[in-house]
Amino acid sequence: MFHLVFAYFSHLIKSFHLHGIHSPFIFQLEKKCLRDDSVKEDYELLSRFRESGAASNLILNIEDHGAGSRVFKTNERKVAKILKHNCSNKKDTQLLYRLCAYFEVNHVLELGTSLGVATHAMAVSRPQAQITSVEGSPEVYGFAKKQLQENNIQNVELICSTFKDFLSQHKEEKLYDLIYVDGHHDGDATITYFKSILAHVHNDSVVVFDDIYWSSDMTRAWNQICKHSKVTASVDCFDFGLIFFRKEQSQERFFIKL
């Protein structure tokens, strides 16, 4: 992990500080969304949803289609442990909530439902939006679906599928305002997903990648994505990265440690 932290801060040293770069779009994003520390009323709903998972005694059999786990030695895992090690933490969940509200999203694609923690946050943030969430492990999919139903979440379509199969079966150019990629953690696979995602973005879309410093392989993929010709701005927040496609902005990389 040390070499990944070192790589991240090396990027920071080589970069201008955000306020030294004249990008009103990124400046406002940082000020009004990324660093918004005001307490939202809905945060209590997010906390309750997380607590309901933490209180579960269920054991789920996981079908892992990604890079595997650094924590779990078997595919039988307690829900509370999955929540602790594989779901978006409180800070990132609240950030996803704010991103959906800030960009006023109407169509969201999530690759990696897990227990539905991030799914729930995005759905609560924008009840008028349609959230499509893809999960490859049937028992995890079933648990998340039940949790969302019990919390009266009605604007989420859950799909049990691998990312690869979903993207290959949905090649029609349905456009999403926000795409959240949280799963697999394999560099080459992440780049492949990104290329498939390009058919589903518009000028004002944002793509969020989780765990960009999970491994040197994921960091390599992230750096390659940032250099793609269709990417005009990227924001590296260490835990995750944001990608933008705004043609009115020249290609530039930003680093904001939250």
Q: What is the pLDDT of residue 2?
A: 44
Domain of 33 in residue numbering reads as 1-255
The stretch 96-100 carries a mean pLDDT of 98
Q: From residue 22, how far is each of 28, 33, 80, 107 by CA, in Å?
A: 11, 18, 44, 30
Q: What is the pLDDT of residue 103?
A: 98
CB-CB contact of 123 with 148 (8 Å) = yes
Q: For 194-252, how does the pLDDT look when each residue is reduced to its tens digit (9 = 90+)?
A: 999 999 999 999 999 999 998 999 999 999 999 999 999 999 998 899 999 999 988 99
Name the pLDDT band for 17 (thresholds 50, 70, 90).
very low
Count of structural domains within the chain: 1
Q: What is the pLDDT of residue 22?
A: 59
Mean pLDDT score of the chain: 87
The stretch 4-24 carries a mean pLDDT of 51
Q: For the chain, give the secondary structure using H, E and C.
A: CHHHHHHHHHHHHHCCCHHHCCCHHHHHHHHHHHCCCCCCCCHHHHHHHHHHHHCCCCEEECCCCCCCCCCCCCCEEEHHHHHHHHCCCHHHHHHHHHHHHHCCCCEEEEECCCCCHHHHHHHHHCCCCEEEEEECCHHHHHHHHHHHHHCCCCCEEEEECCHHHHHHHCCCCCCCCEEEECCCCCHHHHHHHHHHHHHHCCCCCEEEEECCCCCHHHHHHHHHHHCCCCCCEEEECCCEEEEECCCCCCCEEEECCC
Q: What is the pLDDT of residue 145?
A: 96
The more confident residue out of 68 and 120 is: 120
- We report the CATH number of the domain holding residue 224 as 3.40.50.150
Closest CA to 190 of 139, 228, 247, 237: 228
**Range name among 6-10, 35-39, 69-73, 80-84 with the lowest pLDDT average:** 69-73
The stretch 50-71 carries a mean pLDDT of 72
Does residue 156 carry a pLDDT above 80?
yes
